[in-house]
Amino acid sequence: AQSVTQLDSHVSVSEGTPVLLRCNYSSSYSPSLFWYVQHPNKGLQLLLKYTSAATLVKGINGFEAEFKKSETSFHLTKPSAHMSDAAEYFCVVSDSGSARQLTFGSGTQLTVLP
């Protein structure tokens, strides 16, 4: 069985400061991990994904995430927040042996303060 826990339901940062959104996962197989972003009244957009290649994954809009198997974590980071980063972020896990594909975390709402 697979599961994912997003450790913070809300994160607030000031514009220009670093962003850290935390995600821990549980998986019976070799997992694939994703981060999706949802802007207000929009659908979900893929930010980045880890699929057992490089452990440091770079995504769109300056985001990156590091897969740490020993810590079962896949935290999302960005060096400098922009106002347009304000959105809800979802960490997602998929077991290689799962036909249901994706299990979503409960989401982290990111607020960027001017």
Partner 1 sequence: EAQVTQNPRYLITVTGKKLTVTCSQNMNHEYMSWYRQDPGLGLRQIYYSMNVEVTDKGDVPEGYKVSRKEKRNFPLILESPSPNQTSLYFCASSFGLATSTDTQYFGPGTRLTVL
Footprint of partner 1 on this chain (CB under 8 A)? 9, 31-32, 34, 36, 42-46, 49, 51, 90, 94-96, 98-102, 104-107
Parallel, antiparallel or unpaired: strands 31-38 and 44-50: antiparallel
Could you tell me the smallest distance in angstroms from the CB atom of residue 72 to partner 1?
A: 16
* β-bridge mates for residue 10, sequence order: 109
> Measured from the CB of residue 114, what is the shortest distance to partner 1 in angstroms?
26
Q: Give, in order, the Cα–Cα distances in Å from 30 to each of 4, 33, 51.
A: 14, 10, 9
Neighbour-count burial of 47, counting CB atoms closer than 10 A to its CB (0-12 exposed, 13-18 middle, 19+ buried): buried
Give first-to-last CA distance, the chain, whole Å: 41
Residue 112 CB, shortest distance to partner 1, in Å, is: 21
Residue (12 or 14) nearer to partner 1, CB = 12
Which CB atom, from 30 or from 80, has the smaller least distance to partner 1?
30
Question: Which of 22, 104 has the CB closer to partner 1?
Answer: 104
Measured from the CB of residue 8, what is the shortest distance to partner 1 in angstroms?
A: 13
